[in-house]
Every structure is written in C-alpha cells, then in structure tokens.
C-alpha cells in the first residue's frame, strides 16, 4: 500500500500558496484493508475513506469510463492493480495531475499526512513545466468525456489570471461545444462552477475563456449577447457593454464583494443585449428587461434565492440609485421601500455595493468615489429612526386602522427625512 498527496495541494504548494484542502490517493489497497486501518468509508459512487484522526479524504486509485450513469455519468473502477499514473491520467489539467510520494507513519502504523513539500514529486504528465510556463493544458483526450471540465478550466483561469489556455486545449473545448457536449450539463453543476469562478480573484477571465470556446453562448446567451453592443461614451468610456460587465465584475472582486453581489454585478445590464438596434447607443428601459432576463437565468440555472433576489433588485433599481442625489424625500422613501431596505438593511448595503461596482467599473473611473452609498445609508438610518410603534398607537387613538396606519407611518418617515436632510417633499 502506498499513499500519495495529489492534485490541488501539490499544485498550490509548488506555487507557494497556502494549501487549503488535501486529497490523497491510495495505491495497492482494498476497501477492506482501509477499514482495517480504521478509515471510515464514505461516498456511494467510488471508494473514498476518511482518515480516523484528520478526517481528510483518501480515495483508492481508480479509472473511469464514460457512461450514462455512475459518478458524473462515469463508471468508476477501483482496485489494488490501478497505478498512480493511471489515476492521474483521468484528471483534467496537467497542473492538477501531480503527486507526492508519502509513507505510512512509523509510530502508529497508520497512514498519516506529511507536511506539504515532503515526498518525491511524481509528474508523469508535465504539470510542473506547465506550472512554470503558466499554461492550462488538458492531460489526455479523455478531457472531452466530461464537459464540466470546460467550466473547471475556465474557473482555474479566473483563479490564476496570469495562466494562458493551451491552444490545443482551447481547440478541444471548441470541438466539445460544437458537438453539443455542454448542452446537457446539469444546471446545479453549472451554477456550482460559475459560483466558484465568480469568487475568484479575476472572475472576468472565466467568462473570457467560456466565450473563446463558444460555451458562454450555450450556457449564458443573455450575457454573451452583450459583447459588441455599444452604449453612450459619455457615461461609458469603454463603450462595449460586455467589456463593461466584466469591468464591473472585476471591481466587485477588487472590493471583496460577496457571491450575491458579484452575481448581481454580472447580470445588472443583461437587458442591454436586446436593445433595439435603431435606438442604440441608448438603452431606455434596460433595467426592466435585465430584471426579466435574470428571472429566466435564475430559474434555468437554479440560482440560490439570495443571489437571485439581490440581482433582480440591482438590475431594476441601479439607475435610480445612481440618480438618487437628485431625489426629494418622497422619491427616496419609495426607493427604499422598493428595495425593501427598511426590512433588510444589510441587503440594502449589498445593493449599494453592487451599484458602486457598476459606477466604478468603467474605463478611467475605477478610482472615482460613489457618494450615493453613504448618503442612501444615511437616508435609511433616518427612516429607521422613526418610532413606528408610537406612530401606530397615535394613529389608532385617532380611530385609524389598517392601511391608514401604514400611511401615517409613511408620513412620519417623510417628515423625518425632510428634517434630517433638509430635503424637499
């Protein structure tokens, strides 16, 4: 029995990055032998075990062949006769197909993880050379058997933005797209990979790679349509709506935004992709069109509710939030109400962050301030300072009920805004 540290842990250690998770492959063992050492079996599709002390995952070396069932649509075969090189050959990228040789712990007799950097490097597929050359390259032609690998590679491009996709790999991805491989991906898996790519250091790279191989037009045609669509240069010096969407998304990453905010940034301008050609470069009513398209995307990809709801509000209201410095008290209060800011102030802060990313995700405006955010949070603070219970009691004392009580609260908030900010009604 031999133990090997494999995959991302080896890659990140060689890159000098912190190792977050460690995966292990066991060669020459049976499930019974693993359980005899105290490992706990988990997983239904292939033999994976949890270390009795560290609870890290140890998988028996295995091969895969494509089918209509099993793990990710593959039949998995694990046996003591499967070599490490065979196991590594089924992996997606060369930089993820390296291993380090480790040995059983001499004291306990059990397999104990070594520190990162220990053990001989095993690199049958040239991962180290590609790591040094900053290249994302598929391991074998078997890459084409799993279309999820297109998304994974694009996600790695977002995580390692200085890496280029090998020409042969990009051509293979194009062939997979042309062959319809991505048309049948499970929505949950697509969202899982997109979400991880959105949280990468430069998420725009994920969508650039997906565009380059044609996958974006199949998976997110609403987003793909933005490239080549012009908008007014006085508001958007970058002009192209697709370029703007990527600049906004990267600004969200720069500001450390959460996943819901980044998703909102991705979709805030989808409606500009179907603006009638005869009115370009103006995009009247794109906010409402964006909201409708986001509803379609959310349902199709089964996007989580927190992401969907935030994105739809941002799409619908971002123009109003940008122009909010021009509004009187009544208009501001209606804006707060449409954003549900009084009930969900933390989400409102996320909405404003997405709007700041939109305002700063423009050529030459990356360092511009966004005073609307602080001002609108002050508006919300004043509106929340109204003692609604006291207003409701006073209204009830005057014989008011139901909707009339709500109107009394609304008027009290308007008065507070007028007094607190010196705003006209």
Per-residue pLDDT at 174 exceeds 60 = yes
Q: Where does 148-378 sit in CATH, by number?
A: 1.10.3090.10
Q: How far is CA 45 from the centre of its chain?
A: 27
More confident residue, 400 or 172: 172
Residue 152: the pLDDT is 96
The Cα–Cα gap between 189 and 282 comes to 36
Q: State what percent of residues in the chain have pLDDT above 90.
A: 69
The whole-number pLDDT of residue 78 equals 58
pLDDT reported for residue 139: 96
Per-residue tokens: 393: 């009691």
Which one-letter DSSP state was computed for residue 247? Answer: H
CB 213 within 8 A of CB 251: no
Mean pLDDT of 206-232: 97
The fraction of the chain above a pLDDT of 70, given in percent, is 91
pLDDT-based confidence at residue 424 (cuts at 50, 70, 90): low
Return d(Cα 8, Cα 48) in angstroms, integer: 17
Digit-coded pLDDT (tens) for 30-78: 888 888 888 888 866 668 898 888 888 898 888 765 544 333 554 445 5
- DSSP structure class, residue 362: S
What pLDDT does 70 receive?
A: 36
The tokens describing 142, both together, are 């078997």
Angle (CA) 310-313-314 rounded to 5° is 85
Q: What is the pLDDT of residue 103?
A: 57
Average pLDDT across the chain, whole number: 90
- Residue 206 scores a pLDDT above 80: yes
SS percent in the chain: helix, strand, coil, step 5: 55, 10, 35
Q: Which CATH architecture has domain 2-126?
A: 2-Layer Sandwich (3.30)
Please state whether 228 falls in left (phi above 0), alpha (psi between -120 and 50) or beta: left
Lowest mean pLDDT among 8-17, 57-66, 387-396: 57-66
Dist CA 356 CA 376 (whole Å): 12
* pLDDT, position 6: 92
The residue ranking higher by pLDDT, 248 or 104, is 248
> In degrees rounded to 5, what are phi and psi of residue 70?
80, -170
Is residue 387 over pLDDT 80?
A: yes
Is the model's pLDDT at 241 over the cut of 70? yes
DSSP 3-state assignment of 146? coil
pLDDT computed for residue 32 by the predictor: 87
- Nearest CA to 204 out of 223, 183, 178 is that of 223
- pLDDT of res. 109: 45
**Mean pLDDT score, 137-166:** 96
Look at residues 166, 261, 253, 259 and name the one whose alpha carbon lies nearest to residue 209: 166
pLDDT in tens, 100-141: 987 555 335 454 444 444 578 999 999 999 999 999 999 999
- Give the mean pLDDT of 342-359: 98
What average pLDDT does the segment 226-252 reach?
Answer: 96
Which pLDDT value is given to residue 324?
96
pLDDT band of residue 163 (cuts 50, 70, 90) is very high
Q: pTM for the whole thing?
A: 0.89
Best mean pLDDT range from 232-236, 336-340, 420-424: 336-340
């Amino acid at each position: 029995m031999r133990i090997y540290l494999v995959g991302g842990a080896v890659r990140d250690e060689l890159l000098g990055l912190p190792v977050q998770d460690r995966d292990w492959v066991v060669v020459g063992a049976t499930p019974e032998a693993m359980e005899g050492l105290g490992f706990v079996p988990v997983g239904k599709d292939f033999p994976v075990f949890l270390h009795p002390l560290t609870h890290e995952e140890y998988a028996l070396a295995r091969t895969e062949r494509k089918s209509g069932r099993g793990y990710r649509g593959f039949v998995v075969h694990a046996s003591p006769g499967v070599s490490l090189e065979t196991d590594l050959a089924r992996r997606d990228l060369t930089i993820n197909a390296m291993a380090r040789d480790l040995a059983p712990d001499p004291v306990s007799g059990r397999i104990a993880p070594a520190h990162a950097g220990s053990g001989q490097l095993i690199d049958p597929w040239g991962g180290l050379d590609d790591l040094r050359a900053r290249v994302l390259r598929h391991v074998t032609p078997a890459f084409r058997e799993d279309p999820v690998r297109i998304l994974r590679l694009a996600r790695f491009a977002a995580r390692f933005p200085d890496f280029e996709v090998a020409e042969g790999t990009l051509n293979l991805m194009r062939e997979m797209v042309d062959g319809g491989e991505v048309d049948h991906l499970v929505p949950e898996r697509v969202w899982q990979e997109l979400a991880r790519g959105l949280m990468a250091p430069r998420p725009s790279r994920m969508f650039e790679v997906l565009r380059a191989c044609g996958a974006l037009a199949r998976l997110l045609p609403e987003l793909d349509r933005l490239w080549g669509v012009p908008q007014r240069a006085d508001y958007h010096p970058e002009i192209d709506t697709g370029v703007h969407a990527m600049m906004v998304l990267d600004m969200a990453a720069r500001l450390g935004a959460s996943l819901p905010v980044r998703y909102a940034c991705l979709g805030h301008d989808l409606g500009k992709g179907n603006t009638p050609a005869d009115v370009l470069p103006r995009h009247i009513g794109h906010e409402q069109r964006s909201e409708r398209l986001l509803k379609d995307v959310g349902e199709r990809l089964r996007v989580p509710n927190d992401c969907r709801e935030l994105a739809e509000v941002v799409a619908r209201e971002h123009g109003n939030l940008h122009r909010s410095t021009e509004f009187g008290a009544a208009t501001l209060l209606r804006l707060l109400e449409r954003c549900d800011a009084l009930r969900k102030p933390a989400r409102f802060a996320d909405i404003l962050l997405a709007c700041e990313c939109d305002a700063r995700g423009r050529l030459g405006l990356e360092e511009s301030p966004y005073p609307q955010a602080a001002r609108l949070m002050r508006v919300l603070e004043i509106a929340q300072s109204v003692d609604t219970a006291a207003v409701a009691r006073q209204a009830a004392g005057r014989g008011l009920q139901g909707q009339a009580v709500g109107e009394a609260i609304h008027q009290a908030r308007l008065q507070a805004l007028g007094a607190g900010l010196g705003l006209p009604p």
